[in-house]
Amino acid sequence: MNSFFLPHIQSLKPYSSAREESSVSSGTAAGKLTLLDANENSLGSASDLRLGTSTLELNRYPDPLQVELKKVIGDLYGIESEQLFLGNGSDEAIDLLIRGTCAPGKDKILISSPTYGIYKVLADLSGVPVVDVPLRADYSLDVPAIRSAEAKLVFICSPNNPTGNEFSREDIRSILSDQSKLVILDEAYADFAGGEDSLPLLQEFKNLVILRTFSKSWGMAGLRLGACLARPEIIKTLNSIKLPYNISAPNQALALQAIDGNRAFQSETIKVVSSEREKLVEEWSRLDGISEILPSVTNFLLVRFADQIRASEVYTKLIELGFVVRDRSNLPLCENCLRISIGTPEENARLTEALETKALEAFSI
Ligand code: PMP
């Protein structure tokens, strides 16, 4: 099986941290052993983090392989720790996958615009060419064009940002069946969709990498934690090229606390978002100034305004009224569209009122 990673990456001798060499984990060792191996500050820390009744000592480096957190996240997804890479947001995994597999100026990544902007930005940053096979007019993937394109990595964002739709399982399988390409299935919004679980595909397709994030349904965007699920060989290589301490100690501790102890938060979020989304679609469909709301399985809606209204002007008007949304009107298939995140029921009600009585009214429909 093609490793996909570049030869110099495959032969890289990774950095080995002091604690790895002594096979002592900082968490278990603190207090029992005298740690003088990592040039840490043994006197303590200028800052401590209180977590419930305990205090997290920040003077020690965190576990580079996040063993405890991976057990909990592995259980959550029903996979082994060897199939799991954790990044400082899923953006970190995207960056490492591009840099690890694509030779600058030579190997290409493939995207289907409109889609999440970071794929192209990170490819550009690494000098990696981007092939764009745009979505079709019905927002589906152009599978034949993707299959015949020359690319090393294919990014499929499903559900897609900013269009909010999920791609068909059949189309995804068809793209995966071309084993010469590594397929990155970015499922940042999958928790909201509640569709068919894609994780079993990992058993079937060795060229599949799945990305999940704790920034959305778990509400931990500020923590920066993303998961990358793939076969152990791919995970092993990602671990060998990441920065040694990519997930900070507070990040690991707070994520453990949330994922182990507060799963109800995620399920409640999904419930509220889905009922609010339905309500907003119904209410906004009745507004004359809105011509289309794309069917969404995510926590946002892509809203198209009527021809006589400019989305960019509604955007500015909404800012004046205290609402910040995303102007996506310059993207293909998103002409005259704003992307609007689902807020709290109270925020949504205020936005609907502002749209109805001020933002759209200002354009005298
Ligand atoms: N993938 C998609 C499709 C996203 O929309 C985002 C963030 N907006 C991310 C990944 C990045 O998530 P993270 O916060 O985990 O870096």
Q: What pLDDT, on a 0 to 100 scale, did the predictor assign at position 51? A: 87
Task: Say which amino acid occupies 266.
Answer: Q
Q: Is the CB of 213 under 6 A from ligand 1?
A: yes
Could you give the maximum distance between any two Cα atoms of the chain, in Å?
73
Say if CB 185 and CB 197 are below 8 A apart: no
pTM of the model: 0.96
Peptide bond into 159 cis (omega under 30): yes
Cα dihedral sign for 117, 190, 192, 141? positive
89 ligand 1 Cβ < 6 A? yes
Distance 103 CA to ligand 1 centre (A): 24
pLDDT at 27 over 70: no
- Output the pLDDT for position 364: 58
**What pLDDT was estimated at residue 7?**
96
Q: Is 239 in the pocket of ligand 1 (CB under 6 A)?
A: no
In angstroms, the CA 106 to CA 122 distance is 15
pLDDT at 365: 52
Atom number in ligand 1 closest to CA 92: 16
Does ligand 1 come within 6 angstroms of the Cβ of 365?
A: no
Angle at 156 between CA 154 and CA 157, to 5 degrees: 145
Nearest by Cα to 101 from 55, 54, 152: 152
Where residue 19 falls among pLDDT bands split at 50, 70, 90?
Answer: confident
The answer for residues whose C-beta is within 8 angstroms of residue 179's C-beta and 6 or more apart is 2, 205, 206, 207
Which pLDDT value is given to residue 361? 75
Distance in angstroms (rounded) separating the CA atoms of residues 53 and 50: 7
Phi first, then psi: what are they for 93, rounded to 5°? -65, -40
Q: What is the 3-state secondary structure (H, E, C) of the chain?
A: CCCCCCHHHHCCCCCCCHHHHCCCCHHHHECCECCCCCCCCCCCCCCCEEECCEEECCCCCCCCCCHHHHHHHHHHHCCCHHHEEEECCHHHHHHHHHHHHCCCCCCCEEECCCCCCHHHHHHHHCCCCEEECCCCCCCCCCHHHHHHCCCCEEEEECCCCCCCCCCCHHHHHHHHCCCCCEEEEECCCHHHHCCCCCCCHHHHCCCEEEEEECCCCCCCCCCCCEEEECCHHHHHHHHHHCCCCCCCHHHHHHHHHHHHHCHHHHHHHHHHHHHHHHHHHHHHHCCCCEEEECCCCCCEEEEEECCCCCHHHHHHHHHHCCCCCEECCCCCCCCCEEEEECCCHHHHHHHHHHHHHHHCHHHCC
Residue 359 has pLDDT above 80, yes or no: no
* CA neighbor of 246 nearest in space, from 233, 231, 227, 229: 227
271-306: pLDDT as tens digits:
999 999 999 999 999 999 999 999 999 999 999 999
Q: How far is the centre of ligand 1, averaged over its atoms, from the C-alpha of 188 (Å)? A: 6
For ligand 1, is residue 157 a contact (CB within 6 Å)?
A: yes
Residue 215, ligand 1, Cβ within 6 A: yes
Does any ligand 1 atom lie closer than 6 A to the CB of residue 88? no
* Residue of 25, 96, 27 whose CA lies nearest to 243: 96
Of 70, 78, 74, give the one whose Cα is nearest residue 199.
78
Q: What is the mean pLDDT of the chain?
A: 94
The predicted structure's pLDDT at residue 31: 62
Which of 98, 115, 116 has most ligand 1 atoms within 8 Å of CB, for mutation? 116
CA 65 to ligand 1 center in whole angstroms: 22
List, for residues 154-211, the tens digit of each pLDDT value: 999 999 999 999 999 999 999 999 999 999 999 999 999 988 899 999 999 999 999 9
What angle (nearest 5°) sits at the alpha carbon of residue 201, between those of residues 130 and 265?
90
